[in-house]
Chains A and B, each alone.
Chain A
């Protein structure tokens, strides 16, 4: 039975060329849902990168005659309460979401990951102290902490990224520490130590490569959460300051027109929902593919 199936798959893979090649690289198919989600993420990323050169209107230009016009009228995705083009505001808003998601997750991953690895490797007072500090940070509901931080460091793109990144340090430290604890007990670490490897070498060559994959695997899901967090902040008017368009800010504006022009809230909401959903979906799939322990279960 087994050989028969693989015979068939060989035949099929010869016949299908590209998708078969992809299958050999990525293992058996992720399914169409995965590729649709990944495609959407690519569109969002490209919009963010090329926002300035894309053939869209000026996101800040209020054209009074277009006020609250629905999608597929004067504007492809409609216009908002000031007559600004929604498509162009979405494209420019994507830039904020993408930059903050990337920066915040990187900050959390690097700082939290490093602390977690050190805690898991050295144990003792350092580990106990670190975990106690993380517990204290976790004792603050995220929005409470974030509001206080943003009031402290301001509302620039970088400040918001740093504040949200700070929120992710405890989570990443925990993931990295848990993985380090299991890696340190493996034979290859013992072998390296027996061969006279120094602490730094063991950390960089033995521990880090084995901890980094599960840590990276959380990255996409974490980015989805960061986008939600940023939009919540923007919704409250405390993210990157106007006139820079943000998705959360657009939804907040749309709330005022719910009774008369639903699309003002609907269009950015759907965009954001699809983006976060795609990040969760792609992240989930990649995680089950690369996280050895989970797929063994």
Chain B
């Protein structure tokens, strides 16, 4: 609780700065939104001026910022002048897709990385360890979109096991939903997997040299028990931090992967809003993503101190 009280001002400060930065970044984009909405040719200057007035573009930037922030705090991110859709609704309706994609990607990556890292660390230096590390190293050189294309090539075009594009929502049909989500999630997971594995392997090797592991061995505990019960937890702290930090990478990957697989997620919404220069939509989505990212990492930070007594009692 004390920790929370100390870190909360930092969180609020960062969020404020993030919102300001978002607003400025998007507001400074070239192109007059009023002109974009009405189309370039054959519109009278009066009509443009009228629309600018309606959109409130004639007021100073700082005032517009606080206006926007004020309504954003009450959950209203404005209305897209292009489609007339509420930005908040647009994000919320697409959010489940992106969250499912991200969670599946992280779960798959962890489910593969943890056992592989254990095997690698336990047999450190062996041929097995070197091949696992080698594959991980190669995976780090593959961009997400390339991975996606090859998964499509193998599993959709070649074997025909999964659809190449499209999305079935979870409520319509859970089985079809998993089928449509697996390839996109897998392409995101493979990139994360390499990073997680490398990190956990290093930490595990370190932990396995500690005295209490020797003690556990001397007690005659089986190796799998030592690895899972004694070594994994103290080795997983930097992994946890990186999973939190890598969320930014997952979101970036999701933008591309959603576009490739034509998934109706937040990432695709952002990409298409940028192409259409739908500034208010872009602003809302960027603020939403950055806020979510900061808050999640804040929570990871808190969990960290809950899991590790050394951090909790240090101050």
* A residues apposed to B, CB below 8 Å: 132-133, 135-144, 147-149, 151-152, 224, 228, 231-232, 235-236, 248, 251-252, 254-255, 258-259, 262, 265, 269, 272-273, 276-277, 280-281, 284
Contact = CB atoms under 8 A, between A and B. Distances in A.
Contacts of A142: 248-249, 252
Contact of B18 (A139, A147, A149, A276): A139
A152 B30 contact: yes
Given A135-B14, A143-B252, A269-B149, A232 B141 contact: no
Contact of B248 (A140, A149, A231, A277): A140
Nearest to B145: A235
Contacts of A138: 248
B61 interface: no
B198 to A, nearest CB: 11
B260 interface: yes
The 6 closest A-B pairs by CB, nearest first: A143-B252, A141-B248, A276-B141, A277-B141, A141-B251, A228-B143
B293 A141 contact: yes
Given A151-B29, A255-B260, A232 B149 contact: no
Contact of A147 (B13, B28, B271, B293): B271
Contact of A232 (B14, B145, B290, B293): B145
A151 B29 CA distance: 7
B274 A148 contact: yes
Tell me what chain A mostly uses at the interface: helix, strand, loop, or mixed: helix
Contacts of A132: 13-14, 17
Contacts of B21: 136-137, 140
A277 B255 contact: no
A27 to B, nearest CB: 21
A137 B294 CA distance: 11
B137 interface: yes
Contact of B149 (A139, A152, A265): A265
Given A142-B248, A232-B144, 19 more contacts: A133-B17, A136-B21, A140-B18, A140-B248, A140-B289, A141-B248, A141-B289, A141-B293, A143-B253, A144-B289, A147-B271, A151-B277, A231-B145, A235-B145, A251-B146, A258-B157, A262-B153, A272-B146, A277-B141
Contact of A236 (B26, B271, B290): B271
Contacts of B153: 258, 262, 265
Interface of B: 13-14, 17-18, 21-22, 25-26, 28-30, 137-138, 140-146, 149-150, 152-153, 157, 247-249, 251-253, 255-256, 259-260, 270-271, 274, 277, 282, 286, 289-290, 293-294
B145 to A, nearest CB: 5
10 contacts: A133-B17, A136-B14, A136-B17, A139-B294, A224-B141, A228-B143, A231-B145, A236-B259, A251-B149, A272-B146
Nearest to A142: B252
B205 to A, nearest CB: 11
Contacts of B253: 143
Contacts of B270: 144, 147
Contacts of A276: 141-143
Contacts of B150: 269
A281 B145 contact: no
Nearest to A279: B141
B147 to A, nearest CB: 10
B136 to A, nearest CB: 11
A252 B25 CA distance: 28
A272 B143 CA distance: 9
Contacts of A280: 137, 140-141
B6 to A, nearest CB: 15
Nearest to A259: B157
A12 B249 CA distance: 49
A151 B274 contact: yes
Nearest to A268: B146
Q: Which residue, A139, A142, A272, A280, has most C-beta atoms of chain B within 10 A?
A: A139
A277 B138 contact: yes
Contact of A144 (B144, B157, B252): B252
Nearest to B13: A132
A142 B255 CA distance: 11
B73 to A, nearest CB: 18
